[in-house]
Amino acid sequence: VISKRVGASTFKIIQDTIAGSRIDMKVEDALALVPQVKAFIVAHGGKAPSLHSDDANEKHLAQVQAFLTAERARWEREKLRRQAESGDSEYWITSMSYRHFLRAKTLIYSSRSQKNT
């Protein structure tokens, strides 16, 4: 049972995370498409690509975004697990791929804010 307080945006995040976990893609391939995702968002007034679109390109870009969201969630879970095992209160980012995820997220969300201003 899901709380009545969970909004549409939260449901979308859950849906994208589940969909992203089912997508077979390499991280490098997904990261290479981040500029296209960013361009799509800018061109469509801040609207993210939809997994339910009839347009094959939009759907593919949405899959890329969902995949990166799922990978980020997986990385965060792994980070918390390592912290719990080691007892460290801080975890230094040593993974280069995580830095790429942060960069991709920054690029995607900055394009939304640029369009809204």
pLDDT in tens, 41-85: 999 999 999 988 999 999 999 999 989 888 888 888 888 888 777
Whole-number Cα distances in Å, 21 to 5, 16, 83, 99, 109:
25, 8, 23, 20, 21
- Quick check: pTM over 0.95? no
Residue with tokens 């968002």, as numbered in its chain: 41
45 φψ region: left (φ > 0), alpha (ψ -120 to 50), beta (else):
left
Taking each helix axis from N to C end, the angle separating 56-86 and 8-21, rounded to the nearest 10 degrees, works out to 90
Measured CA to CA, the distance from residue 16 to residue 52 in angstroms comes to 11
For residues 13-42, average pLDDT: 87
pLDDT digits over 83-100, tens only? 777 765 444 444 556 666
pLDDT at 40: 96
Taking each helix axis from N to C end, the angle separating 96-116 and 56-86, rounded to the nearest 10 degrees, works out to 130
Measured CA to CA, the distance from residue 107 to residue 101 in angstroms comes to 10
Contact present, 68 and 20 (Cβ < 8 Å): yes
pLDDT at 69: 83
Instruction: Quickly state the pLDDT bin for 38 (edges 50, 70, 90).
Output: very high
Contact present, 40 and 50 (Cβ < 8 Å): no
